[in-house]
Amino acid sequence: MRPVRRNAAPALGAALALSATLLAASPVQADEEPTEHIVNGGFDDGATGWWGSPSIAPEVTEDGRLCADVPGGTADPWDVIIGQDGVPLRAGESYTFSFTASGTGSRPVRALVQEPVDPWRTELDERAFLTEEAAAHAFVFTADEDRDDAQVAFQVGGAAEPWTLCLDDVSLLDGAEPPVYVPDTGPRVRVNQLGYLPEGPKNATVVTDAADPLPWTLADADGAVVADGDTVPHGPDASSGQSVHTVDFGGFTEPGEGYTLTADGETSHPFAVSADLYEDLAADALSFYYPQRSGIGISDAIAPGYGRGAGHVGVAPNQGDTEVPCHPATPCDYTLDVSGGWYDAGDHGKYVVNGGISVHQLMSVHERALHAPTGNPERAGDSTLRLPERDNGVPDVLDEARWEMEFLMAMQVPEGEPLAGMAHHKVHDAAWTAIPMLPADDPQPRYLHPPSTAATLNLAATAAQCSRVFEPYDAEFAASCLESAETAWAAAAAHPEEYAPPTGEGGGPYDDTDVSDEFYWAAAELYLATGDDGYEDAVTSSGLHADPGVFGPGGFDWRYTAPLGVLQLASVPNDLSDGARDALVEGAGQYLDNIGSHPYGLAYAPEDGVFAWGSNNLVLNNLVVLSTAYDVSGDAAFRDAVLEGMDYVLGRNALNQSYVTGHGTNDAVNQHSRWYAHQLDPSLPAPPPGSLAGGPNSDTATWDPVTEADLAGCAPQFCYIDDIGSYATNELTVNWNSTLAWVSAFAVEQLR
Ligand code: 9MR
Ligand 1: atom nearest CA of 672 is 21
Q: Who contacts 320 (Cβ-Cβ below 8 Å, separation ≥6)?
A: 312, 314, 338, 339, 427, 442, 445, 446
Rounded distance between C-alpha atoms, residue 313 and residue 307, angstroms: 16
- Residue whose CB lies within 8 A of the most ligand 1 atoms, among 344, 357, 432, 727, for a mutation test: 344
Report cis status (omega within 30 of 0) of the bond before 317: yes
**What does residue 2 show for φ and ψ, rounded to 5 degrees?**
-90, 150
Q: What's the CATH code of the domain at 471?
A: 1.50.10.10
Atom of ligand 1 nearest to the CA of 347: 17
Q: Are residues 10 and 157 in the same domain?
A: yes
- Whether residue 553 is found in the same domain as residue 684: yes
Average pLDDT of the residues in 671-680: 97
Least confident of 19-28, 105-114, 164-173, 414-423: 19-28
* CA–centroid distance, residue 713 to ligand 1 (Å): 22
Ligand 1 pocket member 187 (CB < 6 A): no
The number of the ligand 1 atom at minimal distance from the alpha carbon of 733 is: 20
Kindly give the distance from the C-alpha atom of residue 614 to the centroid of ligand 1, in angstroms, as a whole number: 8
Question: Nearest 5°: CA angle at 713, between 709 and 717?
Answer: 100
Listed residues 273, 299, 318: the one ending a domain? 273
Please name the residue ranges forming H helices in 661-733: 705-711, 727-730
Q: CB of 726 within 8 A of CB of 672?
A: yes
What local confidence, expressed as pLDDT, does residue 302 receive?
98
Angle between helices 453-470 and 475-494 (to 10 degrees): 160
The pLDDT of residue 15 is 31
Residue 488: half-sphere exposure toward Cβ, Cα within 13 Å = 35
Angle between helices 562-571 and 516-530 (to 10 degrees): 20
| Domain identity same for 576 and 689 | yes
CB of 344 within 6 A of ligand 1: the answer is yes
Q: Are 45 and 146 in a shared domain?
A: yes
pLDDT band at 31 (very low <50, low <70, confident <90, very high): low
User: Could you report the per-residue pLDDT of 713-732, keeping only the tens digit for each?
Assistant: 999 999 999 999 999 999 99
Cβ 695 under 6 angstroms from ligand 1? no
CATH number of the domain residue 13 falls in? 2.60.120.260
Ligand 1 atom 12: residue of nearest CA: 508
Residue-number span of the structural domain to which 577 is assigned: 279-748
The response to whether residue 508 sits with its C-beta less than 6 Å from ligand 1 reads yes
Question: Is 327 within 8 Å of 320 (Cβ atoms)?
Answer: no
- Work out the average pLDDT over 226-235: 97
H helix intervals, 541-599 = 562-571, 577-597
Query: Could you tell me which residues are beta bridge partners of residue 114?
Result: 122, 151
Instruction: Decide: 731 in ligand 1 pocket, CB within 6 A.
Output: yes
**Range 347-351 average pLDDT:** 98
Side chain identity at residue 689, one-letter code? P
Atom of ligand 1 nearest to the CA of 728: 21
How far are the Cα atoms of 43, 462, 519, 577, 641 from residue 571, in angstroms, in the given order? 71, 16, 19, 7, 19
Share of the chain above pLDDT 90, in %: 91
Quick one: angle between helices 352-371 and 615-633, nearest 10?
30
41 and 129 assigned to the same domain: yes
Average pLDDT of span 472-489: 98
Q: From the CB of 704, is ligand 1 less than 6 Å away? A: no
Reported confidence tier of residue 129, pLDDT bands at 50, 70, 90? confident
d(CA 405, CA 296): 15
Residue 18 has pLDDT above 80, yes or no: no
pLDDT given for residue 383 in this prediction: 98
Q: Give the model's pLDDT for residue 76.
A: 87
Q: Who wins on pLDDT, 424 or 9?
A: 424
Provide the β-strand partners of residue 164: 69
> Which residue has its alpha carbon closest to ligand 1 atom 19?
345
343 lines ligand 1 (CB under 6 A): no
The reply to whether 204 and 141 lie within a common domain is no
Q: CA-CA distance, 466 to 485, in Å (whole number)?
A: 9
- Give 570-620 pLDDT, tens digit per residue: 999 999 999 999 999 999 999 999 999 999 999 999 989 999 999 999 999
Q: How far is the CA of 453 from the centre of ligand 1 (A)?
A: 19
β-bridge partners, 111: 126, 154
Helix (H, G, I), strand (E, B) or coil at 196: strand
Q: Which atom of ligand 1 is nearest to the CA of 558?
A: 4
The proportion of the chain whose per-residue pLDDT surpasses 70, expressed as a percent, equals: 96
Q: How far is the CA of 432 from the centre of ligand 1 (A)?
A: 13
- What's the chain's length in residues? 752
As a whole number of angstroms, the distance between CA 677 and CA 727 comes to: 12
Listed as own residue / partner, the contacts of 534-543 with beta carbons closer than 8 Å and 24 or more positions apart are 535/489, 536/576, 539/565, 539/569, 539/576, 540/576, 542/516, 543/516
- Ligand 1: residue of 342, 348, 358, 510 to mutate (most ligand atoms within 8 A of CB) is 510
pLDDT at 3 over 60: no
pLDDT of residue 21: 38
Residue among 343, 354, 702, 704 whose CB has most ligand 1 atoms within 8 A, to mutate: 354
Whole-angstrom distance, CA of residue 73 vs CA of residue 55:
12
Torsion angle of C-alpha atoms 497, 501, 502, 504, degrees rounded to 10: -160
Q: Is 548 in the pocket of ligand 1 (CB under 6 A)?
A: no
Q: Does any ligand 1 atom lie closer than 6 A to the CB of residue 614?
A: yes
CA distance linking residue 655 with residue 720, whole number of Å: 8
Is 42 a residue whose pLDDT tops 90? Answer: yes
Answer yes or no: do 168 and 239 share one domain.
no
186 in Cβ contact with 666 (< 8 Å): yes
Query: Of 330, 290, 337, 535, whose CA–CA distance to 419 is shortest?
Result: 330
pLDDT in the model for residue 180: 87
For residue 203, the domain's CATH number is: 2.60.40.10
Residues 284 and 269 in one domain: no
Other Cβ atoms within 10 Å of 209 Cβ, number: 12
CA of 727 to the centre of ligand 1 (A): 9
Helix (H) or strand (E) holding 283: helix 279-287
- Smallest CA-to-CA distance from 377 within 366, 386, 391 is with 366
Range of lowest pLDDT (200-204, 284-288, 476-480, 703-707) = 703-707
Residue 548, exposed/middle/buried by CB under 10 A (0-12, 13-18, 19+)?
middle
pLDDT of residue 32: 77
609 Cα: distance to centroid of ligand 1 (angstroms): 20
Among 134, 157, 180, residue at a domain's last position? 180
Name the residues annotated as catalytic. Answer: 722, 731
Alpha carbon 281 to chain centroid, angstroms: 17
The pTM score is 0.89
Residue 100 has pLDDT above 90, yes or no: yes
Q: What residue's CA is closest to ligand 1, atom 13? A: 508
Closest Cα partner for 491 from 543, 454, 520, 521?
A: 454
Q: Cis check for the bond before 436: say yes or no (omega within 30 of 0).
A: yes
Cβ 730 vs Cβ 723: under 8 Å: yes
Tell me the C-alpha distance between 616 and 739, whole Å. Answer: 9
644's enclosing H/E stretch is helix 636-649
Identify the domain boundary among 147, 163, 180: 180
Regarding the beta carbon of 345 and ligand 1, being less than 6 Å apart is answered yes
Does residue 165 or residue 129 have the better pLDDT?
165
Probe residue for ligand 1, chosen from 732, 733, 739 as the CB with the greatest number of ligand atoms within 8 Å: 733
| 309 Cβ inside 6 Å of ligand 1 | no
510 CA from centroid of ligand 1 (Å):
7
Phi-psi region of 445 (alpha: psi -120 to 50; beta: other; left: phi over 0): beta
Residue 23 scores a pLDDT above 50: no
Residue 726 beta carbon below 6 angstroms from any ligand 1 atom: no
Q: Return d(Cα 204, Cα 186) in angstroms, integer.
A: 15
DSSP element (H, E) containing 451 = strand 451-452
pLDDT tier for residue 623 given thresholds of 50, 70 and 90: very high
* Ligand 1 within 6 A of CB of 733: yes
Using 50, 70 and 90 to split pLDDT, how confident is the model at 274?
very high
Q: If you measure from the C-alpha of residue 344 to the centroid of ligand 1, how many angstroms do you get, rounded to a whole number? A: 9
Residue 88, pLDDT above cutoff 50: yes
Spatial strand order of the sheet with 350-351 comes to 350-351, 426-429, 446-448
Q: State whether 156 and 260 are in the same domain.
A: no
Ligand 1 geometric centre to CA of 389 (Å)? 30
Query: In this structure, are residues 659 and 649 in contact, taking their beta carbons and an 8 Å threshold?
Result: yes
Residues 572, 545, single domain; the answer is yes
- Ligand 1 centroid to residue 671 C-alpha, Å: 14
The arithmetic mean of pLDDT across residues 160-189, rounded, is 95
Has residue 17 got a pLDDT over 60?
no
Q: From atom 2 of ligand 1, which residue's Cα is the shortest distance away? A: 613
Q: Quickly state the pLDDT bin for 10 (edges 50, 70, 90).
A: very low
CA of 615 to the centre of ligand 1 (A): 12
- Are 7 and 31 within one domain? yes
Residue closest via CA to ligand 1's atom 16 equals: 508
Give the residues across from 428 on adjacent strands.
447
Q: Rounded to whole angstroms, how far apart are CA atoms 112 and 154?
A: 6
Q: Do 522 and 656 fall within a single domain?
A: yes
Do 718 and 183 meet the contact criterion of CB atoms below 8 Å apart? Answer: yes
Helices (H), 432-474: 453-470
Query: What is the total count of domains within the chain?
Result: 3
Cα 561 to ligand 1 centre (Å): 16
Closest by alpha carbon to 646, among 589, 603, 693? 603
| Structure confidence at residue 178 as a pLDDT band (50, 70, 90) | confident
Kindly state the average pLDDT of the residues 257-266. 98
Q: Are 80 and 156 in contact (CB under 8 A)?
A: yes
Asked whether 509 lines ligand 1 (CB < 6 A), one says: yes
pLDDT at 107: 84
For ligand 1, whether the C-beta of 175 sits within 6 Å is no
Which sign, positive or negative, has the C-alpha torsion 44, 47, 50, 55?
positive
Asked if residue 347 has its Cβ within 6 Å of ligand 1, the reply is yes
User: Hey, which residues does 154 pair with through a beta bridge?
Assistant: 82, 111
For ligand 1, atom 6, which residue shows the shortest CA distance? 613
Residue nearest to atom 15 of ligand 1 (CA): 508
